[in-house]
């Protein structure tokens, strides 16, 4: 028994980890371990012998078990100490400046636009970027043969033969969200919808994916005058100037009647844009009164309701406000560009606190 004690206590003391301990436990005090085998021998002993050997074997078993438990606890302590030493971290050190991310100008401008329109009672609606050609075209009074379909350089989704789901496109504008939000909330409604849109086009001012913000206001007595006021308020707030001159230019969109493109007065002295002064005009958006057929497609009675809509390029107004010359750089993920044109992630644009600071 002394040999057994010495052997197993020695092994336990030298065990390197929990699985080694478990092997020792099975060999020593397991059901078929050495101590159990010894216990079986008790039956062959005389009662006198048994009275000595029995308690001694039980004591040995207890001793081995408590040595195992003590070693297990010690191993766990060691492991914790090693982790604590390894994962030590000085939380009082300053953050490394090169790790600070920035907010992309598109995110910043989207926040600015949202803050401005929120103040005027517009909520934010969203729609899918992959939409049916019905939402993207037909419901907006652009029938199949209409030249606007070709003009928009539409990306059509591939369709397998025999697929009879409606054809899908990458939305070419945010206008399909007009229909979706009419369906969802009915009239009256006041929403903007910022988001990505797609057209097959690529040069300094065009990328195959870009961003628009749609506006839609429907009520009983909405007119072009309301549209003009809302846009004036928007442009003043967005460009952070006291006064602006807006010019409505007659235009054509299938989904608005009448339609107007909106220009703002500006100057380009020395290559920098100044909004609100000068003799140049800058086109910033398309707009008009929602076409009765479009209201109908959205499930709204045009005899009872009317409204205005507009669509504006987010990337475009970002380039104008922040003097960014090439649209393609927006989507290059160049860290130097992001550091230069990016915004602090913690400054939320608000009208009272300042939009861009």
Binding site for ligand PHE (CB under 6 A): 173, 175, 253, 256, 286-288, 309-311
Q: Which is nearer to ligand PHE, 25 or 149 (CB)?
A: 149
Phi, psi of 289 (to 5 degrees): -85, 130
Q: CA 253 to CA 236: how far, in whole Å?
A: 25
Q: How far is the CB of 213 from ligand PHE (least distance, A)?
A: 10
- How does strand 189-198 pair with strand 123-124? parallel
CB of 216 to ligand PHE, least distance (A): 8
Least spacing, CB of residue 198 vs ligand PHE, in Å: 11
Q: Please state the length of the chain.
A: 357
Give a three-class secondary structure readout of 25-78: HHHHHCCCCHHHHHHHHHHHCCHHHHHHHHHHHHHHHHHHHHHHHHHHHHHHHH
**Of residues 64 and 139, the one with the C-beta less far from ligand PHE:** 139
Min. distance of Cβ 308 from ligand PHE in angstroms?
Answer: 8
What would the DSSP string read from start to end of 185-245? H-SSEEEEEEEEEE-S--BTTB-SEEEEEEEEEEESS--HHHHHHHHHHHHHHHHT-S---
- Phi, psi at 211, each rounded to 5°: -130, 140
Task: Please give the full DSSP string across 175-189, using - where no structure is assigned.
Answer: THHHHHHHHHH-SSE
- Supply the minimum distance, in Å, between the C-beta of residue 286 and ligand PHE: 3
C-beta closer to ligand PHE: residue 137 or 343? 137
- Shortest distance, position 235 Cβ to ligand PHE, whole Å: 16
Whose Cβ is closer to ligand PHE: residue 111's or residue 261's?
Answer: 261
Of the two residues 28 and 309, which places its CB atom closer to ligand PHE in the complex?
A: 309
Nearest one of 310, 243, 317 to 273, comparing CA atoms? 317
Closer CB to ligand PHE, 25 or 171, in the complex? 171
Q: Which residue is nearest to ligand PHE (CB)?
A: 311
């Amino acid at each position: 028994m002394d040999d057994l004690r010495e052997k197993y206590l020695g092994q336990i003391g030298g065990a390197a980890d929990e699985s080694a301990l478990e092997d020792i436990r099975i060999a020593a005090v397991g059901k078929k371990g050495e101590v159990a085998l010894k216990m079986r021998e008790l039956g062959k002993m005389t009662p006198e012998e048994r009275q000595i050997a029995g308690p001694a074997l039980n004591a040995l078993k207890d001793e081995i078990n408590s040595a195992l438990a003590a070693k297990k606890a010690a191993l766990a302590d060691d492991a914790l100490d090693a982790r604590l030493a390894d994962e030590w971290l000085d939380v009082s050190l300053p953050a490394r400046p090169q790790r600070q991310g920035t907010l992309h100008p598109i995110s910043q401008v989207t926040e600015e636009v949202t803050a401005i329109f929120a103040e005027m009672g517009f909520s934010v609606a969203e729609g899918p970027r992959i939409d049916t050609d019905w939402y993207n075209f037909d419901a907006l009074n652009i029938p199949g043969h209409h030249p606007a379909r070709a003009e928009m350089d539409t990306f059509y989704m591939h369709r397998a033969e025999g697929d009879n789901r409606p054809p899908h496109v990458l939305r070419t504008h945010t206008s399909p969200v007009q229909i979706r939000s009419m369906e969802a909330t009915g009239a009256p409604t006041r929403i903007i919808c910022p988001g990505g849109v797609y057209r097959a086009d690529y040069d300094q001012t065009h990328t195959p994916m870009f961003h628009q913000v749609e506006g839609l206001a429907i009520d009983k007595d909405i007119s072009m005058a309301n549209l003009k006021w809302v846009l004036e308020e928007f442009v003043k707030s967005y460009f952070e100037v006291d006064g602006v001159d807006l010019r409505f230019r007659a235009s054509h969109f299938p989904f608005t009647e009448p339609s107007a493109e909106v220009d703002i007065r500006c100057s380009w002295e020395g290559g920098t844009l100044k909004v609100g002064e000068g003799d140049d005009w800058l086109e910033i958006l398309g707009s008009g009164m929602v076409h009765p057929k479009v209201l109908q497609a959205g499930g709204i009675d045009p005899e009872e309701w009317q409204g205005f809509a507009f669509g504006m390029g987010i990337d475009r107004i970002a380039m104008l406000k922040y003097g960014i010359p090439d649209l393609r750089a927006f989507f290059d993920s160049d860290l130097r560009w992001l550091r230069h044109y990016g915004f602090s992630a913690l400054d939320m644009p608000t009208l009272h606190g300042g939009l861009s600071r």
